[in-house]
Structure 1
Amino acid sequence: MFYSYLVIAFRNLWKHRLFSFINVVGLASGMMVCLLALIDIKGAFDYGNFHPHSDRTYRVLTDVTSSDNQMVAFASTPMPLADVLKREYGFVEQTTQVIRDYAELTVDGKKLVDTYCAVDPAFFTVLGYKLASGQPAIAPRTAVLTPQTAEKFFGLSNPIGKVIHHQELGAITVTGVFQPLPTRSHLEFGLVVSMSTRSTENQKREQTDWKQYKAGYTYVRLKEGASVEALEKALPTITARNTKGIQWKTEKSYTFRPQSLATLSPAFEELQMSTWEPTWGKLATEMAVGLITLLLAVFNYVNLTLARSLSRAREVGIRKVSGAVRWQLMSQFMAESVILSVFALGVAYLLLRLIEPMPFVQQWLIGGVELNPTLWAVFVGFSIVTGLLAGFVPAHVLSGFRPAQVLRSQTGLKVFKGITLRKSLIVAQFTIALIAMIALLSVARQQNYMATADYGFRSEGILNIPLNTVPYQRLANELNRIPGVERVSATSELFGSHGGEYRKVRRQKTGGDSTAVFITAVDQHFIANMDLTLLAGQNSPEMTTDTAGEGSPGRFVLVNEEAVKAFRMGNPREMVGQTLWLNDSTEVQIAGVVKNFQFTTFSWAIKPLILSYQPKQFRYVNVRIADGAPEATLAKVQGVWKHLNPHQPFTGEWYRDFLYKRHSHEDDVNFMGLLTALAFSIACLGLLGMVTYTTETRVKEVGIRKVMGAEVRQIIWLLSWDFVKLLLIAGGIALPLGYLAGMAFLINFAYHVSIGFETLGGCIGLLLGLGGLTIGFRTYRAALSNPADSLRNE
C-alpha cells in the first residue's frame, strides 16, 4: 500500500509540474532560513563543550539591588571573591579570574587594537585553553597570543620571545601561542596577559575592593563529589561579611549566585557585563523568522492544493465509491506533501551552500558549526514534519468531500462570511512580505543616512593617515611641502565613530558634581582643517604657539556648546576663561567654545566635548587635499609615507569612505534583503500558481467572451481584478504595521530618518508592480488564446 501511495504521488506531482515546482522552490526557500536557525541553535549548545569538568565548574553572577529596589544581574564579580573561595572553603578545588579589556598595542612600530584578557595561572587549567607552543602567561608582563593575533602582529615568524608594548602595561613578552580557539566560546580575545601585569595603583586596589562588582569574571571548580548547594550556602555568608560598612551611591546591596558552565549557553537572561554566549531570545527570534518564511511557503502549498480541489475532488469521489476510507485518502495526499518537502530539503541545502560565504552568515549564524549526522537527522525529521503539517489541511479537506456533492461540483471552500481560504492566504503572504520590506527599507535608509550625512565637520577631501610610530611633526612638515596639500592636522580620534576618551570632569578640584565628557586631543590646525566654527574665545594658545613645549600637554582647552549646557555656564562667552579639573592634578582653562557638531554616531545625541592639546595622544593626521588632482596628490603622500616608514604599508583612508564603511553595514542589509526577497518570491510564486489555475479553469469563459466581442484589455481586467483587490487589501493591512516595525528600529537613534511617502509609497508601488507583473503575465497569455481551441469540444 505504501508503495502504491508513492507511485501515485510521483505521478500527480509530475502531471502538475508547474505547481510542484512552485511548491518545491517555495518550501526550499523557507526551509533554508529554518536550517540556518537550526544550525545556530545547535551551535549555541556547543558553547563551552571544550571546558574540562564543565559539570562542576561554575561562573559566579552578581545580582545588584539598586536604591529603588530594582534588581540587575551582572556576569561579573568583585575580584577578591575568588581568593576567599579558594582559601576558606574545602569543597572548592580551584578558582580563576578573568578581566576583559581593550588595548592599543605597539608591535614593531605598528599600532594595533585588540581585545585582551588578564588571567591568573589557573585560567589555563580551569577553563582548558590549550597551547600550541610555548608556556602560559604567569610571570609579570607576559602574554599568550591566539594564532590569528600572532599572524596579525608578527606575520609568519615565531612570536615567542618577541615584545609587545602597551602605554599602561609596559613591555610585554610573548611566551606562548594558543591552539586554534573554539569558534563557539563565551570568551573572545586576541591575547591574554598575566594578571600580575596589571600593576598600577588603581589595578592593585581593584584586587581587594569588594565594591567593584564590575571588575571581572570569577570561575569556581568544585571538588569531585561536592554539591553546588554548598557553594550556594557559602556565597551569602561571604557577601554579608565583606560588604558590611560599604557606602553605596546608587546601589543598595548585592548577592552572588553560581551559574554552571554546562548550562551557560543558551542564556536564559540578559546579563550586564555579559560575555559572548547567545541568548534564548536571539535564537527564538531567528527561529521565528525562519518559521514565518516557511509558513509563507506552506500557505502556497495549501493554497495551490485547494485551488486544484475541483480536479482532485472527482478522484476522491471515485476512490470513495470504490471503497476507500478517509484515512487512506489522507495518507495519499500527505504522502505527496512529504515527497515535496524532502525534495525541498535538497534544494534548501543547495541554497544554504550558496549563501554560506556571506559575512553575516559566517559571523552570526553558522560559523564553526559542523553538519554532523545528528544535525542531518534533525534536518530530515524537520522536513518530514513540515510536509505532514503542510499536507494536513488539504488532505483533511479533500478527503472529506462527499461523492454526491463532487458529482454536482459543490466543493466551494468558504471561511469567515464568504471570504475564501485561498484569498486569505494570499493576503497573509503579501502582508508579511510588505511589512518586512518596509522595515528593511527603514533600516537601509537610516544606515545610508548615517554613512552620508553632514556631521558638522569637513569630510570631503580629507585623508586620514594612522601615525603608528612616525613622529607627527616630521610627517606634517613633509606633507605640507606637497603641492595640492592645503593643510595638515592631528587628532587622537576620528570623529563620527566612538567619540574618544570618556571621563568625569569637575569644575572644582574637590567636591561639586562631575560631568561625563568626551576628551579628544587635537593640534593647532584641526579647527580650520575640519571647518569647525568658534562661537566665542579663540583657538587654544598652546595650539597656536606650542608654549607648553612639543609633546607636553596643554593648559588650555576648547569645549563645545553642549559642554556649556552640561556645566551650566550660561552662554559661550561666559564659558571662556573658566577652569575645569580633568582629574585631581590637572586643571585646564577654557580658551574657546566650538559650535556643536556630531562627533559620535547618530545613536547618541550630541555630548559634551573637550578638545585639548596632547601631542603624545595623536594617532591620526588629517590631510586636506585641494580639488583638482587628488589622485596625483595621494600618490605623493604615499611616497612621503614610504620614505619615512618603509617597513609599514600605507593605510590612509578618505574620511568620507571611513564614515561610509563605519555606518553602512552592507553585509547585514544584504542578508536582510535576501530574506525579504525570499518572502516576496514565495508570495509571487503562490500568486502565479493561483492565477495560472484560475485562468485555466476559466478558459472556456474567455473563449465565449472573445466570440461575443470582448477586447483583450477587458478580459485582462476581468481576470486580474480579483487578485488586484487582494494586493490592495494586503497593502492596507501592511502599511501601518510596517510603519510600526520601522519605527521600532529607528527609535534607537537620536537622529534618524522619517518613514514617509518615499518609504511607504515605494514599498506599496513595488508590491503592486511585482504582483501586477505576475498577474498580467498569465492573464495576458490567456486573453490572447484562440477561442476556437477552447470551444472546440463544446
Structure 2
Amino acid sequence: MFRNYFKIAWRNLLKHKAFSFINIFGLSAGLTCFLLIALFLVDELTFDGFHTQAGSLYRVVEKFTTATGKERTAGSVSFNTSAIVLKDMPEVAATSRLTTFGRVNVSAENNTTVFYNDYTTANETFFHLFDFPLLQGTREALKEPFTAAVTDKMAMKLFGRQDVLGRTIRVEDDSLPYRITAVVKIPGNSHIQFNVLFSEATSFSNPRFREFSSSDWTSTLFTTYVLLKDNKTANSTAARMGTLVMKNRPASADTRKSTFSLQPLKQIHFYPDGQDNERAQSGIMHLYVFGIVALFVLFIACINYMNLTTARFAGRSKEIAVRKVAGAMRNSLIVQFLAEALLITVIALFIALAAVQMLMPGFNAFTGKELSLDWHSDYRIWLGVLSVTALAALMAGIYPALFQSGLRPLQLLKNKLKLSHGHLSFRRVLVIFQFSISIIMMVATIIVFQQLKYVDGKDMGFNKEQLVVVDINSANVRRAATTIKNEYARLANVKNVTVTSRVPGEWKSIPQIKVSTAANPASMQDMYYIAADDQFLNTFQIKLLSGRNFLPGNELADSQYVLINATAAKSLNISQPSEQLIEIPAALFGDGLNTYDTPLRVRVIGIVNDFNFQSLREKIAPMVIGSPRLRVHRIDYFTARVNPVNMAETLKQMEGILHSIDATHLFEYNFLDKQWDLFYQEDKKREVIFLSVAFMTILIACLGLFGLATYAAEQRIKEIGIRKVLGASVSSIISMLSKDFLKLVLVAAVIAFPIAAWAMHQWLQDFAYQVGLQWWVFLVAGGAALFIALFTVSFQAIKAALSNPVKSLRSE
C-alpha cells in the first residue's frame, strides 16, 4: 500500500512540474538555512561538552570589591586556593591549575623554526580532568619538569609532522630544552585553547616561584578547576572555600573582601569573565534569535507547501472525488497526501545536504569554526536531521491533507465547491506571518548596517588609518627602543613613530591605576593607563587641549609628569593643568591588585582631547598617559604612521632594523585599523546572517504569495471572464486581484514594525555610541515588502486579466 502511495506521489510530482519545482526549491532552501544555523548553534551550545566529566567540573571565580568601591570578578584565583580546597574539602575529588605567564619564543630543537607563543603551564592532573584527545603520550604528560604537550597543529608547524613524542623544543631564556610528552588535539568548541602546554613542575625549579606560590593567597593568576563528587554541593562548597581562603589570607597582604563561586564548565564559553552581565546575556540572546530565525525560515518554507498545495487542489478535485466514490477512506487519503509531502521533503533534504556541503567551507571561514556534516558526524546530529525532515513533512502536509481529504465528493464532481472564510483566513494568516518575518529581517539588516557604518566612520579623537603597530617581544629590543625608534623615523615612508605600553584599540588588556589628588588623597578613582613618549600625540593625531606635551629628548626630566584626558580632568576637577600633584598608589592589572613599595606622586602638565581607546560599546573612560620611565607599565609597541605607497618595502625595512638589534626577534606587526575591525567582527557576522536570512525569507515568502495569487486567480477565473465580457479593463482586474494581497503585506508591516523596533533597540544597547532608530528605516523595509509583493502578484494578475474569457465561461 505504502509503495502505491509513493508511486502516485511521484506521478503527481512529474505531472505538475512548476508547482513541484517551487515546493522543492522552497523546502530545500529552508532546510539548507536551518541545517547551517543548527550546526552553528549545536557547536556553540555544546562547548566543552566533549569532556566525560564536564557535568562535574567547575571553574573557581572570585568576586571582590576594590579600595575604590568597584566590584570586580576574576575567573582565576590564588595558587593556594586549589591547594587548600583539595586538602580540607572532602567533597572535592581533584583540582587543576592553568596559568599564562606571558609570551616567549618557542622553537624546534634545531632553532630553525621559531614561534612567539604564550607560556602557559598546567599541573599534572590537567589531562586527567580534561580528556582532550591524545594522539600520542599519556595522561601523565605534565608530571615531570621541563616537559610539554603540543597540539597536532603546533607539531606540524615546528617539525612538519605529528609523531614528535620525545622530541625537544627550546624556550627563550631557558637553558634546558623541554621534552614533548604528549601530542594533543584541541576541538574548536573548547574554551581552553593552547599551542604548547608546559608542565607546572618546571616553575617549581625556580626558587622565586616556590617562594611566591607558598604564600600566595591574594593573586588572581591561576585559573583553577575543581572536580566535585556531588554536583549538589557546588554552592556550599564555594561558600566554605571562601571562608577557608579568607581565614588563611594574611590581613596585611590585602584588604579586599572576596566571595567565591563555582562556575559550571559548560557556562564558561558564554560567561568568560565569570559574570552574568548584559554583554554575556546579549551574546546568548543572539544565539536564541538565530535558532528562532532558523525555525522561522523552515516554517515559512512549510507554509509555502501548504499554500501551493491548497492552491492547486481544484485541479485534483475530481481525482479526490473519484477516490471517495470508489470507497477510499479519509484516513487513506490523509496518508496519501502526507506521503506526497514526505517525498517532496526527502528530495528537498538531499538537495539541502548537497548545498550544505558546497557552502560549508565558506560558512566555516565566515564563522571561524570547523563544522562538518558527513557520515562521521555524531549520530545525534543525524537523528536531529531526520527528525526535522519528518517534522517538516508533517508541518507542510498536515493541513492540506486534512483539508483536501475532508471535501465532499458530490461538490467536487459538480465543481461547485465553495471555501469557507476560515480556510481563506488561515492562508492569509500564513502569508502575513511570512511577510512579518521578512520585514523584521529587513529592518534588522538595515539598522545593523547603519550602526557598523557609524562605528567605522565616527571621529574617535585620533586617526587610526595608516598606523603600523610593531610588537616588542624581547628585552634586547626593549633596551634599544630609542635607537630603533630613531631608525624607523629616518625611513622615507615613515611620518611619525612613537613607543608605548599600549595602543588605542588594544587587543591585550589596558591596565588600570588608582588615582587620587593631593587635595583629597582618600578619594581614589580607577583610571586607565598608557605609557607613551613625546611622539604619541603626533603619531596618533590626538589634540592637546591645554598645557604642554612631553618634551623631545627630555624623557628623564618628564618622568614624573603625566598627561590626562578630558574625562579624567573632569573627574579630578582639574580645569587647567598647572603641575597639580596626583598620587598613584596602585595599578590594577589583569593578574590582580599590584601595589608599589611607595605610592607614585606625579604632576599633571597637559590635558588631551578625549579619544576612544576601547570599542564604541564602551564610553570614554578616564585615562592617564605617563612617561615610559614611570614604573607602572613597560613599553610594548612601536607605532609608525606610514605612507601606504610601497608598504611591503617599508615593512621589510622595519623588520631589518629590528633584526639588527636582535636577530631572533619575531617581527610581529598589525595594522591598527584592522585590529579595530575585530571589535565588531561578531556584529558584521550578524549583519551577513540577517541579510542572508532576509533574502531567503523574502524569496520563500514570494513563492508563497505566488501560490496564493495562483489560487485566487483559479478561484475567480469565471468572475474575471464575466467582468471582461461586461467591459472591465485589464488594469481594473489587475487592481482587483492585487489589492487583497497588498492589504496582507500592510498588516504584516503593522505587526512587524514594533517587534523589529524592540529587538533592534535591545541590540543597540550594546553600544555606548549608536545611531538610534530612524523612521525611514521602517518605511524603506515596508515599502520594499510592498513592492516585492506587488511584483510577485502581478505575474498571475496580468496573466488572468489577459486570458480569453470565452475559455473560462465555456463550461457554464
- Flag the 1:391–1:365 CA change in 2: closer, same or farther, 3 A: farther
Match of 1:395 among 393, 401, 404: 401
Shift of 1:425: 0.7
Moved more, 642-651 or 676-685: 642-651
Structure 1 residue 622 corresponds to structure 2 residue 639: yes
Partner of 1:29: 29
Percent identity of equivalent pairs: 25
- Flag the 1:99–1:208 CA change in 2: closer, same or farther, 3 A: farther
Partner of 2:575: 571
Partner of 2:20: 20
Matched positions, count: 765
Partner of 2:589: none
Q: What secondary structure does 2:559 align onto?
A: coil
Partner of 2:498: 489
Moved more, 238-247 or 521-530: 238-247
Structure 1 residue 537 corresponds to structure 2 residue 551: no
Shift of 1:421: 1.2
Partners of 1:184 and 1:368 within 8 A in 2: no
Q: What secondary structure does 1:412 align onto?
A: coil
Partners of 1:457 and 1:532 within 8 A in 2: yes
Structure 1 residue 381 corresponds to structure 2 residue 391: no
Match of 2:426 among 416, 421, 425: 421
Partner of 1:560: 565
Partner of 1:351: 355
Structure 1 residue 591 corresponds to structure 2 residue 605: yes
Q: What secondary structure does 2:498 align onto?
A: strand
Partners of 1:695 and 1:778 within 8 A in 2: yes
Give the Cα–Cα distance (whole angstroms) in 2 for the partners of residues 494 and 270 of structure 1. 26
Partners of 1:239 and 1:256 within 8 A in 2: no
Shift of 1:16: 2.5
Shift of 1:62: 6.2
Shift of 1:747: 0.8
- Flag the 1:221–1:734 CA change in 2: closer, same or farther, 3 A: closer
Moved more, 338-347 or 181-190: 181-190
- Flag the 1:437–1:204 CA change in 2: closer, same or farther, 3 A: farther
Shift of 1:679: 1.5
Give the Cα–Cα distance (whole angstroms) in 1 for the partners of residues 638 and 238 of structure 2. 52
Partner of 1:125: 128
Structure 1 residue 338 corresponds to structure 2 residue 348: no
Moved more, 236-245 or 447-456: 236-245
Question: How is 1:306-705 mapped onto 2 (pairs within 5 angstroms)?
Answer: 306-357=310-361, 358-359=363-364, 363=368, 366=371, 370-373=376-379, 375-406=381-412, 407=414, 409-415=416-422, 420-466=425-471, 468=473, 471-498=480-507, 500-507=509-516, 512-541=522-551, 544-547=553-556, 554-566=559-571, 568-573=572-577, 576-582=580-586, 583-584=595-596, 585=598, 586-614=600-628, 617-625=634-642, 630-632=644-646, 635-636=649-650, 638-642=652-656, 644-645=658-659, 654-660=671-677, 662-663=679-680, 665=682, 666-705=684-723
Give the Cα–Cα distance (whole angstroms) in 2 for the partners of residues 353 and 787 of structure 1. 50
Partner of 1:97: 96
Partners of 1:499 and 1:518 within 8 A in 2: no
Q: What secondary structure does 1:324 align onto?
A: coil
Q: What secondary structure does 2:771 align onto?
A: coil
**Deviation string, structure 1 residues 56-95 (Cα, Å, up to 9, x no partner):** 964366697999xxx9999766643543454457787x62
Give the Cα–Cα distance (whole angstroms) in 1 for the partners of residues 74 and 556 of structure 2. 47
- Flag the 1:519–1:779 CA change in 2: closer, same or farther, 3 A: same
Q: What secondary structure does 1:189 align onto?
A: coil
Which one-letter code corresponds to 2:640 in the other structure? Answer: V
Partner of 2:591: none
Give the Cα–Cα distance (whole angstroms) in 1 for the partners of residues 258 and 659 of structure 2. 55
Which one-letter code corresponds to 2:30 in the other structure? Answer: G
Moved more, 650-659 or 231-240: 231-240
- Flag the 1:790–1:443 CA change in 2: closer, same or farther, 3 A: same
Q: What secondary structure does 1:573 align onto?
A: coil
Partners of 1:536 and 1:576 within 8 A in 2: no
Partners of 2:59 and 2:223 within 8 A in 1: no
Partner of 2:274: 273
Match of 2:739 among 717, 721, 733: 721
Partners of 2:79 and 2:213 within 8 A in 1: yes
- Flag the 1:767–1:660 CA change in 2: closer, same or farther, 3 A: same
Shift of 1:515: 2.3
Shift of 1:558: 0.9
Give the Cα–Cα distance (whole angstroms) in 2 for the partners of residues 5 and 764 of structure 1. 43
Shift of 1:727: 1.5
- TM-score between the two structures when normalised by the length of structure 2: 0.80
- Flag the 1:753–1:395 CA change in 2: closer, same or farther, 3 A: same
Partner of 1:216: 223
- Flag the 1:531–1:569 CA change in 2: closer, same or farther, 3 A: same
Match of 1:751 among 769, 777, 786: 769
Partners of 2:49 and 2:266 within 8 A in 1: no
**Deviation string, structure 1 residues 21-58 (Cα, Å, up to 9, x no partner):** 22222222322343345545665787667656x38964
Shift of 1:185: 3.2
Shift of 1:457: 0.7
- TM-score between the two structures when normalised by the length of structure 1: 0.82
Give the Cα–Cα distance (whole angstroms) in 1 for the partners of residues 582 and 120 of structure 2. 41
Shift of 1:601: 0.6
Give the Cα–Cα distance (whole angstroms) in 1 for the partners of residues 345 and 46 of structure 2. 28
Which one-letter code corresponds to 2:789 in the other structure? Answer: G
Shift of 1:649: 8.7
Partners of 1:490 and 1:522 within 8 A in 2: yes
Structure 1 gap segments, 5+ residues each: none
**Deviation string, structure 1 residues 400-457 (Cα, Å, up to 9, x no partner):** 2233554463431423xx9711111111101012112212322232223223322111
Q: What secondary structure does 1:688 align onto?
A: helix
Partners of 1:581 and 1:588 within 8 A in 2: no
- Flag the 1:391–1:171 CA change in 2: closer, same or farther, 3 A: farther
Shift of 1:391: 1.6
Moved more, 305-314 or 201-210: 201-210
Shift of 1:731: 1.6
Moved more, 532-541 or 148-157: 148-157
Partners of 1:438 and 1:738 within 8 A in 2: yes
Give the Cα–Cα distance (whole angstroms) in 1 for the partners of residues 232 and 12 of structure 2. 63
Give the Cα–Cα distance (whole angstroms) in 2 for the partners of residues 55 and 481 of structure 1. 56
Which one-letter code corresponds to 1:518 in the other structure? Answer: Y
Partners of 1:330 and 1:395 within 8 A in 2: yes
Give the Cα–Cα distance (whole angstroms) in 1 for the partners of residues 658 and 272 of structure 2. 48
Give the Cα–Cα distance (whole angstroms) in 2 for the partners of residues 643 and 693 of structure 1. 75
- Flag the 1:589–1:77 CA change in 2: closer, same or farther, 3 A: closer
Give the Cα–Cα distance (whole angstroms) in 2 for the partners of residues 593 and 789 of structure 1. 86
Shift of 1:750: 0.4
**Deviation string, structure 1 residues 106-136 (Cα, Å, up to 9, x no partner):** 4579997766643112223343443647994
Q: What secondary structure does 1:761 align onto?
A: helix
Which one-letter code corresponds to 1:351 in the other structure? Answer: A
Shift of 1:638: 3.6
Give the Cα–Cα distance (whole angstroms) in 2 for the partners of residues 460 and 58 of structure 1. 45
Give the Cα–Cα distance (whole angstroms) in 2 for the partners of residues 791 and 578 of structure 1. 95
Structure 1 residue 742 corresponds to structure 2 residue 760: yes
Q: What secondary structure does 1:303 align onto?
A: helix
Q: What secondary structure does 2:294 align onto?
A: helix
Which one-letter code corresponds to 1:426 in the other structure? Answer: V
- Flag the 1:577–1:291 CA change in 2: closer, same or farther, 3 A: same
Question: How is 1:249-260 mapped onto 2 (pairs within 5 angstroms)?
Answer: 254=260
